[in-house]
Amino acid sequence: MYSKLKRTLLSAKFLPLVAACLLATPAFAQTGQKAGKEKAQRPSKPTFNLNEKPEKKSEDGLSSQTELVLKSVSERYAKLRAWSAPFAHESYSVALGTSRLSKGEFVFVRPDKFRFTLNGPAEISDFISNGKEAWYIRFPNGRKKSAQVQHFQSLQNIELDKYLILLRGISTERPEEKAKVLRDFKVESLLDSSKLSLLLTPKGSSDISEVSITFENTKPTPASAKIVDSLGGEVTIKLGEAKMLKTIDKKAFVPNYPKDSKIEEFR
């Protein structure tokens, strides 16, 4: 049953990730390029400096750069208590070799209330959580006609930490929080003058093989995110202008679908 829940969430192409979830890398941030399309180049001959000391690692085994990026990402997400943003959503299927594009918008309130909406053209759907239960609703013939609804009566058996990583992010403010991140993920980073990226590889069994989040250095909210599943499929999310929410519309976390919709229950 739990594996079915995971497959269901992956089919939802959430995030993020939704999230989380999310897409190309700087490595993450270059969109439109698929692996193998660039002309292969012979790597230059490596040079070695015997006097060069290897980069020091922290007590957690992270490089100084990754420590810096991890801390920066955690601090930025700590300020995102309630926020929303429009986004462009691209899902790439390895089996079909094609991409599907949609536009959408999300609303997120810590710790786990969210509405993640796709408005087409490739998919029209809502993924909603009120903090206790969740609904994934697909509208194959438009929002006014019968929908396909999957109702998850409990959030405890869903990998929300991984799927919500784009919206909720990660926290390393307390030692136990950082320890949990390092227990759950292999953590790497990229950093240059304009952006920083955090690359997370889940440890242990997971339907997700890689999650990455990219920030522009001058902005407090993510610019893009990427989720790669265990079969090589990719979901990329590029965020538009984000808003910090001072008031919350509770209706955002209430599902809305026609009465004749087909509902599948998951306990």
- Burial (CB < 10 A; 0-12, 13-18, 19+), residue 51, is exposed
Per-residue pLDDT of the chain (267 residues; tens, 9 = 90+): 444 444 444 443 333 333 333 332 222 223 333 333 333 333 344 343 434 444 566 677 899 999 999 999 999 999 999 999 999 999 999 989 999 999 999 999 998 899 999 999 999 999 999 999 999 999 999 999 999 999 999 887 676 666 688 888 889 999 999 999 999 999 999 999 999 999 999 998 888 899 999 999 999 999 999 999 999 999 999 999 999 999 999 999 999 999 999 999 998
Angle value at C-alpha 16, between 141 and 63, nearest 5 degrees: 160
- Burial (CB < 10 A; 0-12, 13-18, 19+), residue 152, is buried
β-pairing, 224-229 with 208-216? antiparallel
The pLDDT of residue 163: 66
**Tens of pLDDT, residues 140-161:** 999 999 999 999 998 876 766 6
Give residues with Cβ within 8 angstroms of 84, minimum separation 6.
105, 106, 107, 108, 242, 243, 245
Tell me if 85 sits within 8 A of 240, measured CB to CB.
Answer: yes
Tell me if 148 sits within 8 A of 138, measured CB to CB.
Answer: yes
- CA nearest neighbour of 170 among 192, 190, 133, 200: 200
Give residues with Cβ within 8 angstroms of 141, minimum separation 6.
none
Paired strand residues for 186 = 201
Sign of the alpha-carbon dihedral angle for 175, 176, 177, 183: positive
Domains of the chain: 2-30+62-266 (2.50.20.10)
Tokens of 196: 């920083």
Q: In this structure, which amino acid lies at residue 24?
A: A
